[in-house]
Structure 1
Amino acid sequence: MTATSTLRPGHTGLNVTDLDRSLGFYAEVLGFDVLGEGDENGRRFAFLGQEGELMLTLWQQADGGYAPHLAGLHHLAWQAGTIDEVKAFEARLRERDVDFAYEGVVAHGEGAASGGIFFHDPDGTRLEISVPTGALGAPAPAAAAPTCGFF
């Protein structure tokens, strides 16, 4: 490995309790394309992405919902292009009665220009859609800690 070697995010794999329910959420609500699905001896999985690029793999192998008090994934975040896109996702999620961590768009911290929405998937996994700018003036749920830290 050279000093100039770099890593960049690849895809994220999530354990889910019900693949069909999770596909409805991630594909229909969040707009991911189903790139492929499989079922090997009752072990179901799906590859999701955008523009042909794999971004998320769902594995139907969880016995229970997300457990925030255990080590592992804290939350999964995506970056939108504009604050209006974040608000459009919020409206789509609210139409489906998705559980939100905070009310509306919130800033990542007091006075921050970055911010977004924080919500949960059908298994309780914590999710975020945010933008680096455009949230200036939005409330910050916690004064001394990052908004995405404890929710």
Structure 2
Amino acid sequence: MTATTTSTLRTGHVGINVTDLPRSLAFYGDVLGFDVLVEGKEDGQRFALLGRDGRLALALWQQADDSYAPARAGLHHLAFEVDTMDEVRAVEAELRSLDVTFAYEGVVAHREGAASGGIFFHDPDGTRLEIYAPTGAEEAPAPHAAAPTCGFF
């Protein structure tokens, strides 16, 4: 590839294998606010395409036998950006009311002294997720002094 062709390269959507599509739809739709754009159940193959404002963001594929395994190669975590730390904290409050498992207690900075930070938690299959804001975490702790917070959890 040349620099010309890679200059327009950006993430389109992320596909996640799940064990129970209805449970994952409730989490990503009801809890995180994604809309179901397409849902398929043909020939025992269940999937859903999720997005916002008609734009595809996630594809959920019910084809996993086991939950997420951090020690396997593949997706490390999926991060969603919001505009403000108030939005991060609002999502955190809702997730806590649903007994979602968190990797850290409260908002954490991406690294020591960073302005950006957020919350780190797990979906129903254990996939690691993050919701962060680019600023507002200046006073938040950083769980790891030398490595990015989003790297080891």
The normalised TM-score by structure 2 is: 0.96
Residue 2 of structure 1: how far off its partner (Å): 5.3
Residue type matched to 2:3 in 1? A
Residue 146 of structure 1: how far off its partner (Å): 0.4
1:117 maps to what in 2?
119
Matches within 5 A, 1:68-87: 68-87=70-89
Residue 132 of structure 1: how far off its partner (Å): 1.1
SS at match of 1:20: helix
Determine which of 89, 108, 111 is the counterpart of 2:110.
108
Matches within 5 A, 1:2-151: 3-5=3-5, 6-151=8-153
5+ residue gaps, structure 2, are none
SS at match of 1:7: coil
5+ residue gaps, structure 1, are none
Cα distance in 2 between the residues matched to 1:120 and 1:140: 19
Judging by fraction of residues, say which structure has more helix. 2
Cα distance in 1 between the residues matched to 2:151 and 2:57: 23
Residue 36 of structure 1: how far off its partner (Å): 1.1
Cα distance in 1 between the residues matched to 2:32 and 2:3: 37
Residue 4 of structure 1: how far off its partner (Å): 2.1
SS at match of 1:89: helix
SS at match of 1:90: helix
Cα distance in 2 between the residues matched to 1:2 and 1:12: 24
Cα distance in 1 between the residues matched to 2:148 and 2:82: 19
The normalised TM-score by structure 1 is: 0.98
Identical pairs, percent: 74
Cα distance in 2 between the residues matched to 1:88 and 1:51: 21
Cα distance in 2 between the residues matched to 1:140 and 1:114: 11
Cα distance in 2 between the residues matched to 1:128 and 1:104: 12
Residue type matched to 1:54 in 2? L
